[in-house]
Amino acid sequence: MNCFDWDEEQFQCGEGCDACIDSLVRFIPKNCMACKSCELACALRHSTSGDINTAICEYPRPFSRLSIVHNDGKLHLITCVHCKHPKCIEVCKASAITKDGDGVVTIDDESCIGCLECVEACPFEAIQARGLEAVKCDLCGGAAELSCVLACKCGALIYG
């Protein structure tokens, strides 16, 4: 069993996964149509312009910090689940990854040395390499409303 086998509705890890989920974004797969609106909203949120017509011309091109994937005939949300005991923090040589009092795991871009050990350590494949930069969900930088949740008109994503 791998980390795709955890039950998103109950927030329980499957066997073989010791990450202990402390997720802040709940995914309801039965409500998801895989329209990717959440991915587009996330990419736009992290673009320089915030405008879909301008963002496609930006360099580097903005990309989503989450994805909806099909695995074993099911839909899964791939994003940082802000683990109770994050393996990414344990392996970060630069101490660039921290967890605050609210349980939010963040990467300090300026402290990151680009070793990308965190990418390999994450059991949920939620940290992406962009060149020598590690990138993951930052919960929209502390915004009260998450772009992905606002964009999901099916009720598949719930924040809180």
For the chain, what are the domain ranges? 14-159
Q: What local confidence, expressed as pLDDT, does residue 146 receive? A: 95
Report whether 14 contacts 2 (CB < 8 A).
Answer: yes
Task: Judge contact between 18 and 83, C-beta under 8 A.
Answer: no
From first to last of its 160 residues, the chain has per-residue pLDDT tens of 344 444 444 444 433 344 555 568 899 999 999 999 999 999 999 999 999 999 999 998 999 999 999 999 999 999 998 898 899 999 999 999 999 998 899 999 999 999 999 999 999 999 999 999 999 999 998 888 999 999 999 999 999 7
Tokens of 105: 């795991």
DSSP 12: B
Just give the CATH number of 14-159. Answer: 3.30.70.20
CA 30-33-37 angle, 5° bins: 125
Q: What is the DSSP letter of 153?
A: T
Supply the pLDDT for residue 22: 59
CA distance 42 to 40: 5
Strand pairing class (74-78; 67-71): antiparallel
Closest among 25, 26, 19 to 121, alpha carbons compared: 19
Q: What is the pLDDT of residue 21?
A: 53
What residue type is 59 in one-letter code?
A: Y
